[in-house]
Amino acid sequence: MLECNPDFVDKAIKQRILCYGTRYQFQQPSEFLDRAIGRLLFLLPLKFRVRITQGLLVGYVDRLLKNLIQSLNKTPEGDALLVKRLLKYMAQDQVGYLMMSFASISPLALAAKKNGSHSFDYLVTFQGDEEFASYARQAKLFDKYQQGLEEVMRCSPWPAVVVSQDYLKRIVVEMGIDPSGLRVLYPGIDLPGRNDKPPFSILRTVFPELNENVPIVSYVGRQECEKGIDILLYATKLLEANKVPMQLVICGSTAKGVSYQKLIVSLADHLRLSIHHSGSVSPEVRNALYAHSRCMVFPSVNREPFGLVAAEAMSYGTPVLVPDYGGITEVIRCEEKSGGLTFKTWDSGNLAEQLERLLTDEILYNELSNNTRAIASRFSAEQMTDAVLEHISVDTS
């Protein structure tokens, strides 16, 4: 739904756009805006579309997602025309299993199953659904939204998947989900080979002033207010006062507009910090950052469901620094070993203290670095795939 990325799946697998974002520009789904205007807009390059939706159309994504949740929960029939299109595509592609990437859009799967024109089963997954629940509350539809999730889970033959133990606890409390219908299956990443270290020169294509001989501290991820990048700037200023040498790199996309990105630049200027800042970067640049950073920092003030970027960074042998609550803490530890440190959430002073340890304590750093790859290997794409197939009792032998 809403976007298509050829890099997400094998080139032999056909991708289809179920609908375009233009469908949900108003409270009632619009077939014309979807099938006509949406298709025309997709003729424009992706970078241009992103620039428009995130820079010029303030509140575009929030409005889109709120209207999507309304359309699926306001009336019993939901978005009936979209359900018919989903059934048509599944029949054409002979789909027998449907995995909904967010539980909140699973009413589409249930409505299609009730239709009965095409036989299939669906699996519900929870990851980031607290955001959709917020939109349901804003629209005063949370009770219907919650009841719909309960029915969706009840009509699936398998327990719903959640991405961490902490996230399971969170959605039980915040969304009223029955824990007996939930199972934890961790997401997966593509693991690099031990010798797959991109050259430093790749970084200079985006950050030409980076010095290879000064420790690099990086943030890679969405640049949104809940990610706490401002806290990282304050911590960096404290380390500068302590004369701890480091270079700070901040990069990543945004889904809700560029206002926070502009705030980061403005705040760094106000603090008289020299940072290396960019928007979204290519996978090659991202992987080079993983490989050449002294550590990756995730200063999020949100209770993160998981920490995919943390796992990716550790897969390159790089220790990470994460908040002390949320599913992200499960990513960096395995039994008694750890691939990083935690800091007190919201506390820029403690963040600075822990970051200084990673930058100056060589014994600690080497110990954590030596653990990273083994810990990251628990989240391989292969293990995730096997776990999902085992969960739905698909025999791959």
Q: Is residue 209 part of a domain?
A: yes
Indicate the Cα dihedral angle 322, 325, 329, 335, nearest 10°: 130
Say whether pLDDT at 125 is over 90. yes
Nearest Cα to Cα of residue 233 among 194, 205, 261, 200 = 261
Amino acid at 384: M
Nearest to 237 by CA among 264, 273, 211, 183: 273
- Angstrom distance (rounded) from CA 264 to CA 287: 23
Which is higher by pLDDT, 55 or 114? Answer: 114
CATH number for the domain spanning 111: value is: 3.40.50
- The answer to the question of residue 103 being in a domain is yes
- DSSP codes joined into one string, 134-189: HHHHHTT-HHHHHHHHHHHHHTSSSPEEES-HHHHHHHHHHH---GGGEEE----B
Q: Tell me, yes or no, whether 31 and 166 share the same domain.
A: yes
Residues 257 and 133 in one domain: no
**Closest to 309 measured CA to CA, from 347, 278, 277, 281:** 281
Asked if residue 268 and residue 129 are part of one domain, the reply reads no
Segment 308-334 mean pLDDT: 96
Residue 46 pLDDT greater than 80, yes or no: no
Q: What integer pLDDT is reported at residue 55 of this predicted model?
A: 63
**Tens of pLDDT along 133-187?**
999 999 999 999 999 999 999 999 999 999 999 999 999 999 999 999 999 999 9
Query: Which residues is 121 bridged to in the sheet?
Result: 97
Does 210 lie in the same domain as 256?
Answer: yes
Residue (of 329, 302, 140) closest to 221 by Cα position: 302
| Same-domain pairing of 215 and 97 | no
* Contact assessment for residue 250 and residue 274, using Cβ atoms and an 8 Å cutoff: no
For the chain, percent of residues with pLDDT exceeding 70: 98
| C-beta of residue 126 within 8 angstroms of C-beta of residue 167 | yes
d(CA 62, CA 75) in angstroms, rounded, equals: 21
pLDDT of 23 reads: 94
Above 80 in pLDDT, residue 76? yes
| pLDDT at site 13 | 83
pLDDT more than 90, % of the chain: 79
Fill in the DSSP letter of residue 395. Answer: -
pLDDT digit string, tens, across residues 78-109: 899 999 999 999 999 999 999 998 999 999 99
Query: In the numeric block, which tokens belong to residue 271?
Result: 């603090």
Q: In the structure, what pLDDT confidence band is assigned to residue 14 with cuts at 50, 70 and 90?
A: confident
Higher pLDDT, 110 or 61: 110
Mean pLDDT, range 44-51, rounded to an integer? 77
C-beta of residue 290 within 8 angstroms of C-beta of residue 312: yes
Question: At 57, is the pLDDT very low, low, confident or very high (cuts 50, 70, 90)?
Answer: low
pLDDT (0 to 100) of residue 1? 74
**Residue 4 — very low, low, confident or very high, per pLDDT cuts 50/70/90?**
confident
The answer to whether residue 36 sits within a structural domain is: yes
Q: Compute the average pLDDT of residues 374-378.
A: 96
> Residue 234: how many CB atoms within 10 A of its CB?
18
- Does residue 71 sit within a domain? yes
Angle at 228 between CA 266 and CA 62, to 5 degrees: 85
Q: Per mean pLDDT, which range of 72-76, 145-149, 240-244, 305-309 is the poorest?
A: 72-76
pLDDT at res. 162 = 97
- Quote the CA–CA distance of 151 and 255 in Å, as a whole number: 30
Q: Is residue 189 in some structural domain?
A: no
Rg (CA), the chain: 22
Q: Please tell me whether residues 128 and 60 are part of one structural domain.
A: yes
- Give the CATH number, domain containing residue 317: 3.40.50.2000
Q: Are 195 and 271 contacting, i.e. CB atoms less than 8 angstroms apart? A: no
- pLDDT exceeds cutoff 80 at 54: no
- Asked if residues 376 and 183 have their Cβ atoms less than 8 Å apart, the reply is no
Asked whether residue 161 falls in the same domain as residue 282, the answer is: no
pLDDT of residue 161: 97
What pLDDT was estimated at residue 259?
84
**110 and 144 assigned to the same domain:** yes
Structural domain that includes position 36: 6-184
Q: Has residue 397 got a pLDDT over 90?
A: no
Core vs surface per residue 172-187: b (16+ CB within 10 A) or e: eeebebeeeebebbbb
Res 119 pLDDT > 70: yes
User: Do 177 and 219 fall into the same domain?
Assistant: no
Q: Considering the domain boundaries, does residue 388 fall inside one? A: no
The pLDDT confidence band at residue 132, using thresholds 50, 70 and 90, is very high
Between 5 and 226, name the one with better pLDDT: 226
pLDDT for the residue 7:
72
Specify the 3-state DSSP secondary structure of 232. helix
Pair (27, 163) in one structural domain: yes
pLDDT surpasses 90 at 256: no
User: Which of 20-24, 288-292, 348-352 has the least mean pLDDT?
Assistant: 20-24
Query: Dmax over Cα atoms in the chain, in whole Å?
Result: 68
Is 103 within 8 Å of 152 (Cβ atoms)? yes
Of 184, 216, 231, at which residue does a domain stop?
184
- Residue 24's pLDDT is what? 93
Domain count, the chain: 2
Calculate the average pLDDT of the chain.
92
Q: How confident is the model at residue 200 (pLDDT cuts 50, 70, 90)?
A: very high
Is 225 contained in some domain?
yes
User: Nearest Cα to 241, choosing from 218, 276, 273, 215?
Assistant: 273
Tokens 């990083």 found at: 340
- Residue 375 sits in the same domain as residue 246: yes
Specify the pLDDT at position 169. Answer: 96
The β-bridge relationship of strands 337-338 and 333-334 is: antiparallel
In a domain, 250, yes or no: yes
**Nearest to 185, CA basis, from 397, 384, 368, 367:** 384
Same-domain check for residues 157 and 255? no
